[in-house]
Each structure stands twice: as structure tokens, then as C-alpha cells.
DNA sequence: ACAATAATTGCAACATTGTTGCATTTGATA
DNA sequence: TATCAAATGCAACAATGTTGCAATTATTGT
């Protein structure tokens, strides 16, 4: 956790933001996490050590996304999940969501854009691909 | 619209449900629609001709999805969109969402399931694929 | 170390989307 | 046409997210 805190602080300073307790704590939680987690889950983890206003959490997550330090995943249940941008996440990738435990993990690749034919006049910007099923623990 | 109303009524009766004014009206709206539309958009169309309680609309849409007469699309903005199940929609398919006007359309295919390697122990049930970009009107 | 200042935070209030319980109304059927 | 389960409307609630504004805090220059 110590390591994550210092890593988090470094990441934040490198992007010209103030290294506040909240930002560091939130980013550290995401750094420690394997999976994409929800606002709610982050809030629960924070409440144990560093109670923070709901609104501040929303705004901080927004800021971290803007600065490209984390990314948002939309997994079909109207709830955003957040995950640190490690190297593999700088390019687009797919996600897997377990239909039993709702856990989300990041996968490696996306299909080639050029293999997909859109109606004429349409311009493709981004692909969002989510696999759903059972994870190893829930199978 | 006459045609859509009778079609809607037929579809509902074939599935052993009561052909109520609300169900017929809602399904007729969806039959007339090219794109997947939101609860809100349906509500607005209804308000002009057939004011219906918000809750009834939610429950009717749920019922139509259960009966497989329509399907739900989740397009990353926490809002469900609904679209009639025409033949091509009985199997899974992808969607396109315009990032400017938020309109959603249905595309034809999905990538082959077997081309995708999940971590061991994971079981794939469903693929959700959304393309984002600009539609012809917004380009 | 300290004051100044701009960025960040907390609070209260609101907005949107969706759900639940229960009494009332309505469509299908005998 | 009477009956009765199914469908609806209403009120209240829940979850997630947003906005305005005053108070606090991190950084910077001295």
C-alpha cells in the first residue's frame, strides 16, 4: 500500500495536479485492484481509512479519467467501473463481465476496425466490446 | 400507424398476453421506429396520444423483453434503449451509437465466439459489441 | 516559515432512471 | 354480463450522478 501511495502521488504530480490526500488514496486503491471496480466499491474501501464525500469521489474519478490515469468501463448495468491505465490499457481493449459476481476484468485485444462495415456516411471512432459469462470462480 | 397497431396486437396475442391499449401503443411505437429508443423517448411519443404512467411503461417494456418481442440495448450512457425484434435480431448482433446525437442502430453481425480466448476457467455466454462514432447525419 | 491565491473539497439540494407495495381498473372468459 | 386474474396508477422509495457555493487546503513566492 505504501508503494501504491507513492506511485499514485508520482502519477498525479506528473500530470500537473495537486497531490491531495483524496486523489492519492483513490488512485492507490485502483492501483491495488486487479479488476475494474465501481464508484460504490471505492467508496466502501475509502470509508475504512479515509472518509471522503461522494461528490469529491465522483469529481476525482472524472479528473483521473481526463488525465488518462484511469479509464471508465461501461458494463451494461448502468454503473461505471474504473481501472488504472497500465501500459496495455493505453490502446483500446475489451472487457469481460461475470454475470454472477459482476466482476469486470480487462482483456487484450479489439477486433480490427477495418473488418467492420458500417452504413455509408458513418464514421467509426471507438469500439466497446464486452464479453459476458461466468468467471473461473463462479463456473 | 394503423398497420403497426394491428401488428402489435397480433404479436401480443400470439404470446398469450392481454392486448391492452398500453401494450399495443408501446409496441406500435417501437415497430414504427428504425432505431433503438429510450424509455424517455417512448414516454414522450406516448404523451401526445396516450398518456401512460412511467411505471406502467417500465413494466410493459420488461414484459415485452421477457416475451422476446423486443430487446434492450445498453449503450454506455446508463440508459436502456429498446428495439423491436425483427428476424435479424433473434440472433445476437452489434450496435452503433452516434456520439453526437446519441442515436442507436442495430448492425448485422457479431465476431465469432471461438476466435476469442478467455482466461482458463471462464465461460462465455454473451457478447456485447457497440461501435461509437458519428452517424451519416452528424458527420 | 508564512501569506496569498487558486485548486480542491464538503455540503445541501436537485436531477434522472428505475423499483416496490398496494389499491383500483380492465380485458378475457364462462 | 358477472367474474377474476392481469394490468395499471399512484405514492413512496432507492441508486447513481450533477450543480452551486462557501470553506478548506496545497502550492508558490517571499
Tell me how far CA of residue B135 lies from CA of A53, A115, B10, B11, B35, in angstroms. Answer: 39, 18, 33, 31, 12
Q: What is the mean pLDDT of residues B85-97?
A: 75
How does strand B80-84 pair with strand B37-38?
antiparallel
Write the Ramachandran bin of A45: left for phi over 0, alpha for psi from -120 to 50, otherwise beta.
Answer: alpha
Q: Is the CB of B9 under 7 A from strand D?
A: no
Which residues in A have their CB inside 8 Å of a CB on B?
74, 76-80, 94, 96, 99, 105, 107, 111, 116, 118-136, 139
| A26, pLDDT greater than 60 | yes
φ, ψ of residue A94 in degrees (nearest 5): -95, 170
Q: Which helix (H) or strand (E) holds A3?
A: helix A2-14
- The residue among A110, A104, A106, A109 whose CA lies nearest residue A85 is A106
Q: Is the CB of A54 under 7 A from strand D?
A: yes
φ, ψ of residue A72 in degrees (nearest 5): -95, 140
How does strand A123-134 pair with strand A95-98?
parallel
- Best-predicted range by mean pLDDT among A7-11, B111-115, B129-133? A7-11
- The residue among A12, A105, A22 whose CA lies nearest residue A66 is A12
Residue A1: the pLDDT is 46
**Could you report the per-residue pLDDT of A107-139, keeping only the tens digit for each?**
876 666 656 778 888 988 888 888 888 999 888
**If you measure CA to CA, which chain B residue comes closest to A74?**
B76
**C-alpha span between B76 and A66 (Å, rounded):** 17
Determine the 3-state secondary structure of B47 from DSSP: helix
Average pLDDT, chain B: 86
**Could you report the per-residue pLDDT of B94-125, keeping only the tens digit for each?**
889 888 888 898 887 666 665 677 888 898 88
**C-alpha span between A54 and A35 (Å, rounded):** 21
- The residue among B18, B71, B24 whose CA lies nearest residue B46 is B24
% of chain B exceeding 90 in pLDDT: 42
Instruction: For residue A84, name the pLDDT band (cuts at 50, 70, 90).
Output: very high
Give the number of beta-carbon pairs within 8 Å between A and B.
101
**C-alpha span between B3 and A139 (Å, rounded):** 47
Q: Cell numbers at residue A134, please? A: 461466468
Q: What is the mean pLDDT of residues B76-85?
A: 86
Average pLDDT, chain A: 86
pTM of the full structure: 0.79
The nucleotide lying nearest B13 (C-alpha to C1') is: C28
**A130 near A95, Cβ under 8 Å?**
yes
Amino acid at each position: 500500500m505504501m508503494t501504491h501511495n507513492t506511485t499514485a502521488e508520482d502519477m498525479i504530480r506528473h500530470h500537473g495536479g495537486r497531490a491531495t490526500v483524496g486523489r492519492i488514496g483513490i488512485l492507490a486503491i485502483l492501483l491495488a485492484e486487479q479488476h475494474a471496480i465501481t464508484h460504490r466499491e471505492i467508496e466502501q474501501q475509502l470509508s475504512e481509512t479515509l472518509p471522503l464525500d461522494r461528490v469529491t469521489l465522483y469529481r476525482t474519478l472524472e479528473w483521473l479519467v481526463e488525465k488518462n490515469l484511469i479509464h471508465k468501463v461501461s458494463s451494461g448495468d448502468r454503473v461505471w467501473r474504473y481501472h488504472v491505465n497500465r501500459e496495455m490499457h493505453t490502446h483500446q481493449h475489451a472487457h469481460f463481465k461475470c454475470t454472477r459476481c459482476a466482476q469486470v476484468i480487462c482483456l487484450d485485444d479489439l477486433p480490427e476496425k477495418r473488418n467492420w462495415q458500417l452504413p455509408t456516411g458513418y464514421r467509426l471512432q471507438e469500439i466497446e466490446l464486452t464479453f459476458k459469462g461466468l468467471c473461473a470462480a463462479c463456473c
